Structure 1
Amino acid sequence: MQLDLELYREEAQVEANVRISYIHIAPERPLHTILFVHGFGGRARQWRYQIEQFAIHNEVIGLDLRGHGRSSRPGGGYEMDRILADILAVLRHCDVNRPIVLAGHSYGVAIATEFAWRYPERVSHLILIAGAGEYNILPAYKVMFRLPEPLLRLFQPIANRAMDASLYALQEMYLHNMRHWRGWDKFPELKPKTMVILGNKDRVLPQSAFERVGELVPEGSEVINVGVSAHMVMLERRDAVNRAIERFLEGETAVPTHSRWRSDVEAAGRGGLLAERPWLANYETAVPPTIDVPRLPLTRLLDRAWRRFPNRPAIRFMGRTLSYRSMSAQAARFANGLLSLGIKKEARVMLLLPNLPHLVIAFYGTLRVGGIAVMANPLDPPEELVRQANASGAEVLVTLGRFSKTAIQIKVQSSVRHVIYASVADYLPFTKKLAASLMPSQRRADQLPDQAAGSDFAWSRWLRRFRPEPPRVTVRPEDTAVLQFTSGTTGIPKGIILTHYNLVANTMQVRLWLTDVRDGHEVMMCVVPFSHVYGMTSAMNLAVSVGASMVLLPRFDTEAVLRAIRRNKPTLFPGVPSMYVALNNFPSVRKFGIDSIRACISGAAPLPIEVKETFEKLTKGKLVEGYGLSEASPVTHANPINGRHKAGSIGLPLPSTEARIVDLKTGRPLAAGQIGELVIRGPQVMRGYWQDEAATLDVIDKDGWLHTNDVARMTEDGYFQIISRRQDSWQGEDKKLAFPRDVEEVIYELPEVREVVVVGIANQPVAFVSLKEKTRIPAKTIIQFCQRRLPPSQVPRLVIFVKEFPRSFIGKVLRRELVSQYRQQIRAEGGSVSQHLAGLDDTAVE
């Protein structure tokens, strides 16, 4: 499990002038609390491999000793008593009351030993790594630590290459702590179970200091030599050290594997968790069952990205590249620009943009000032956009100059006071920008409209006026970050309230699901719209969280996508099934180098097995079906990327996500295999609907379960299958419900079929079929094929061929539009749908 540990950094005030900085990760129901103590001149991050490994199933704490790492340097006070008091203070701050596993390295061995000796009731296991029998440093260092502080400051730049503490702090710790410690005399009195991992080749201590440690510990202690290694053994031989710690704690199941969960499934620990969530047994080994979501604003992900990867391309757009440093600076300019307009915390900023650099910059810039991003669909009719602007109370609109007519209508009829007009040319390379400026139509699109007022601005000129440093605005995790309006499938679109915590949680859940993602190395194909929460989380926020390059495309055009793939070699490609269908069927698709794609999560609609297998054959990568809904930020389920995939299944709930199937009428939980409504609970579930408490109470019950309105079932081993939306099903002659997906999977097996959607109309299945180019198949053949494979209640009563399916802007087929078009056609002929379907015989098709 790879984590950005700095997202988990906290501070404890231990004295008036002393703050101890530490990394703290606490998953749900941890097996142990493991505290890591670094050595002389070290820091908590020296334990990064152990923290990442053991945080999967344990609460872990890695602290920076006073004067080290990010902890403050007091004027004095480096005695052992104060160091131990710091540890106790951190444990109190983390609310740790049970005995801990205490691991120390180098001089941290002395500190850990002293703590275990003085507070034996607080320590269950003691792990001593590369410690010394005494801490008599080499003569050259003794001389240096006698120098006055002004001289020490001269040597500090040199020391910074090897040490994570000031020389003054090291001097004080040596003079008042290290040289006085004689703790090896206390080793025989140690009560906790003890393990020693030997180390050598330290720069400060002679080799002879390490040789007696194994002889000094109590009889029965475990002494391990992991082989040739230098002093930083937990870094250089991390796998060996981790295995040794696992074996040492094996009786307590420190790191359960799929076959080593506790046998007592009623226990309160991990076994109890497995009993409640059977899907955990099918998780990949590196995926944690639960995660400790950092309580941070979403903008911290961008802060970490530009600090870790300042020069890495953040955005690749039409041949232009923006680094993470540049993107962050422009988001800061945008934030300062909003402040200049009088925009305050919790003000709403409406973003009406396709996937352009402006959208990423405006999104994070809005969040930097504590504003709320109202994500608008550029394909919605102006009347709906006006309604959403009024419903949200948006004060600023950011959109393209070519949408000026809609923008003017929104401003006139809503609360919007300012419009910022962007242009595609703003982020084009110089040559493309010059060519665009010579085109009259493009020049007009880039200019402010004639009706623009003094409160309207052109993006580039406006942005340059402001500072590139982020403003200092306190944003809390529970603050609202996004208003995402629903698609309006079942009524008027409602505003979904997503907090910073919701979005950080879902971003981390998806990131941990992708077990082989490499921070700072990935390239993300971003064609799924950011203005929908699926694209926002699985493409934009995920990319920022791992320092990936985002290849932006404003819309899905198959050939344009393939050219972008050939040019940028993306490794990750979140999308919807229709995108993968289009790529699968494009002539000579392999010549575009699509084998760079390593992993894809498909959402928004069922992923047919034929589509999955064809795409994986072309790319040699993994394409897995996932599931989510906007009210859950949105991802809740996915099939394992490198684990067991079940055809026709949405996979397993993500870490820290609870899911169950409940009776469609009574709401009581159902056993595995039974069909009912899918309900979900987790940190990604929305706060509620914007200014609509009644609608919120309709979908989120008093226990926090989100009702999805999707009919589903769960297998014994925890895989979930979406059967249908409740309104898309029909009832067979046996009074049992039948569902579209069972029929669609069969029709997809016909090689002529490009895409199929089955809908229940007047309690009869109707199949809408799109064929591949230059192919034909009679509707009668499709019916007969289904008759051989399906029970009578699932055989389509009617087959209707369509060239293209009506879709939402994210690419999801609008089933209601298909039904509406069919109904209108029948009414125009003077009949009713029921009469039309009833009048068909077994072979009558259209």
Structure 2
Amino acid sequence: MEAKPWLDLYPDTIPTTLDYKRKPVQSYLTEAAENYPEKAAVHFMGKEITFKEVYECALRMGNYLRDIGIKKGDRVAIMLPNCPQSVISYYGVLYAGGIVVQTNPLYTERELEYQMKDSAAEVIIGLDLLYPRISKIMKNTQLKHIIVTAIKDYLPFPKNIVYPFIQKRQSGIVVNVKHEGNQHLFKKIMSAGKVAPLENEFDFEKDLALLQYTGGTTGYPKGVMLTHKNLISNATACDAWLYKARKGEEKILGVLPFFHVYGMTTVLILAVMQGYKMILLPKFDVETTLKTIHKLRPTIFPGAPTIYIGLLNSPNIDKYDLTSIKSCLSGSAPLPYEIQQKFEKITGGKLVEGYGLTESSPVTHANFLWEENRVKGSIGVPWPDTESIILSAETGEAALPGEIGEIAVKGPQIMQGYWNRAEDTAATFKDGWLLTGDMGYMDKDGFFYIVDRKKDIIIAGGYNIYPREIEDVLYEHPAIQEMVVAGVPDPYRGETVKAYIVLKEGMTATEQELDEYARKYLAAYKVPRVYEFRTELPKTAVGKILRRALVDEERSKRKDDEKLG
């Protein structure tokens, strides 16, 4: 492992080590406003905003936050979908010297209250639709101020007139907030705020830019502490990987939510750093996304497998021209090979799988986009300045090529630790290596492969079974649109393999048919014993299928059956 064999795979066009500018994330917006003042930075539902306008709006927000008491290091929560306000707020908080706390707009009151308490955020910026939810929990938290905005605030005429009526019909919620006391209107801040430069003492290595909360798959969500260095190094490496991208010219589709670290780094930071136009969509909708690509011609499209699968399975896909897409980096879940091939054929661009986690800002590995040495089923190789090893499950030492163990990583993008959780932080690192919790292996050439989450391994009849191996096989079946495999309780085997299946529209498949298909490619002990057909699968906001939710659901059903029995 000392030899880092993956470095021999790098093309001459990608440096193995990079030069990072030791400056804060927000300084890239200042530079973009100077270099591309009249260039569109954001396109949102027909409205475009220039880099100069975004910069000035972010300064207004930063100055206003200072005026209401935000100091260097204070936490400010942003609870917004992808929209101009989310861009302005993010950079505004950083200009004020604050730490951004990205908050999912879908959070329940309980989830929101937990995150606000844990982060000790003092200000929250949210949508008018979320105001009732936020106002209910404020008294139980350290929140002192709420800044309210509405989607219509950045819509062009006549959409800004019509939208409130559509919103009222769909949600039934009408919010009237006055700009007084601890309640503030985003629109008022933008019309009256100061456009004055803001300076802060700055430590590139130590100053936090972000508290990004993990999904809470084990216990309560934890606040991942990411510094300016972490975010800048990962966005810089992303730019190096996309070496054919043209500074100041590309258009990047922002359908991945900014409250997820993947969308935030690969769209929100990278686009500003490189002077790209962000084409923002507040949520993923198949037809809206297809129409947007067809009309606005984005060239870069970071996404998740479920997004690409959704587009490919649209019955209307042939009506749209998707050939503007040149490069796509897929993350958050395994990318089926069949999907990669189909998407590349339709767009003429390149789609490759990458890998990372919240704790690494997020990317650590990826396949090469334009080189021929892409390997089926691999997450690729470590990014510039990133090291990775496989730790043997038996010895805890570095494993040999081909041996399965836990993936561990080092690099400039690795978090400082978990917010106020010293024990959890210590347990996540070993001798300076971040333990990812993912099981995988490296081949002799330096390509890495994921076999599954450490906690998702199914132990049935004494065998270790990796769900991803089964999923890779079943995804090749022509009738399957989406699927996930999980281990469910079994009185005889301990656990048994269950497959949850969503079929493509207009196609059919029986349990017997899928069983016969699986037995052609899998050892008998790996073949699912149970199949359940569903119309949809539970997912995170970024489109990652929630395997754990299905396992919990299964356990809950069994407990209920035992009570009835």
TM-score by length of 1: 0.64
Structural mapping, 1:765-784, within 5 Å: 765-784=497-516
The counterpart of 1:416, out of the listed 137, 143, 161, is 143
Shift of 1:687: 0.3
- Alignment RMSD (CA, Å): 1.9
Structural mapping, 1:384-783, within 5 Å: 384-436=111-163, 441=168, 447-449=175-177, 454-477=181-204, 478-643=206-371, 644-701=373-430, 703-731=431-459, 735-762=462-489, 763-783=495-515
On the 8 A contact 1:770/1:802 being kept in 2, the answer is: yes
The counterpart of 2:35, out of the listed 302, 305, 308, is 308
Counterpart Cα distance in 1 of 2:96 and 2:535: 46
Q: Secondary structure in 1 aligned to 2:118?
A: helix
Counterpart Cα distance in 2 of 1:294 and 1:737: 45
Q: Secondary structure in 1 aligned to 2:252?
A: strand
Counterpart Cα distance in 2 of 1:631 and 1:675: 22
Counterpart Cα distance in 2 of 1:575 and 1:449: 35
Aligned: 1:814 with 2:541: no
Counterpart Cα distance in 2 of 1:524 and 1:729: 36
Q: Secondary structure in 2 aligned to 1:554?
A: coil
Shift of 1:444: 9.2
On the 8 A contact 1:355/1:552 being kept in 2, the answer is: yes
The counterpart of 2:57, out of the listed 288, 311, 330, is 330
Counterpart Cα distance in 2 of 1:823 and 1:364: 44
Q: Which amino acid aligns with 1:648?
A: G
Counterpart Cα distance in 2 of 1:516 and 1:826: 53
On the 8 A contact 1:662/1:670 being kept in 2, the answer is: yes
Structural mapping, 1:222-371, within 5 Å: 276-371=3-98
Q: Which moved more, 1:599-608 or 1:298-307?
A: 298-307
Residue 181 of structure 1 corresponds to: none
Shift of 1:447: 4.7
- Per-residue CA shift, 1:347-376, capped at 9, x if unaligned? 110101111111111101101121000011
Q: Which amino acid aligns with 1:365?
A: G
Q: Which moved more, 1:600-609 or 1:282-291?
A: 282-291
On the 8 A contact 2:56/2:195 being kept in 1, the answer is: yes
Shift of 1:759: 1.3
Counterpart Cα distance in 2 of 1:593 and 1:446: 39
Residue 100 of structure 1 corresponds to: none
On the 8 A contact 1:393/1:415 being kept in 2, the answer is: yes
Aligned: 1:800 with 2:532: yes
On the 8 A contact 1:346/1:371 being kept in 2, the answer is: yes
Counterpart Cα distance in 2 of 1:823 and 1:804: 20
Q: Secondary structure in 2 aligned to 1:648?
A: coil
Q: Which amino acid aligns with 1:726?
A: K
Q: Secondary structure in 1 aligned to 2:323?
A: helix
Structural mapping, 1:816-835, within 5 Å: 816-830=548-562
Q: Which amino acid aligns with 2:305?
A: P
Q: Which amino acid aligns with 2:83?
A: L
Q: State the percentage of identical aligned residues.
A: 38
Counterpart Cα distance in 1 of 2:436 and 2:167: 49
Q: Which amino acid aligns with 2:486?
A: V
On the 8 A contact 1:314/1:324 being kept in 2, the answer is: yes
Shift of 1:437: 5.4
Counterpart Cα distance in 2 of 1:742 and 1:503: 32
Counterpart Cα distance in 2 of 1:546 and 1:319: 22
> Structure 2 unaligned runs (5+)?
490-494
- Per-residue CA shift, 1:723-746, capped at 9, x if unaligned? 00112112355x552211111111
Shift of 1:818: 1.0
> Structure 1 unaligned runs (5+)?
1-273, 836-846
Residue 6 of structure 1 corresponds to: none
- Structure possessing the higher relative contact order (Cα contacts under 8 Å, 6 or more residues apart): 2
Q: Which amino acid aligns with 2:393?
A: L
Shift of 1:445: 6.1
Counterpart Cα distance in 1 of 2:180 and 2:174: 16
Residue 517 of structure 2 corresponds to: 785
Q: Which amino acid aligns with 1:582?
A: G
Residue 41 of structure 1 corresponds to: none
Q: Secondary structure in 2 aligned to 1:394?
A: coil
Residue 492 of structure 2 corresponds to: none
Q: Which moved more, 1:809-818 or 1:682-691?
A: 809-818
- Per-residue CA shift, 1:352-402, capped at 9, x if unaligned? 111111111110110112100001111121111111111111110100011
Residue 245 of structure 1 corresponds to: none
- Per-residue CA shift, 1:657-691, capped at 9, x if unaligned? 00000012432111111000000000000000001
On the 8 A contact 1:335/1:470 being kept in 2, the answer is: no
Shift of 1:307: 1.7
Give the number of equivalent residue pairs. 557
Q: Secondary structure in 1 aligned to 2:143?
A: coil
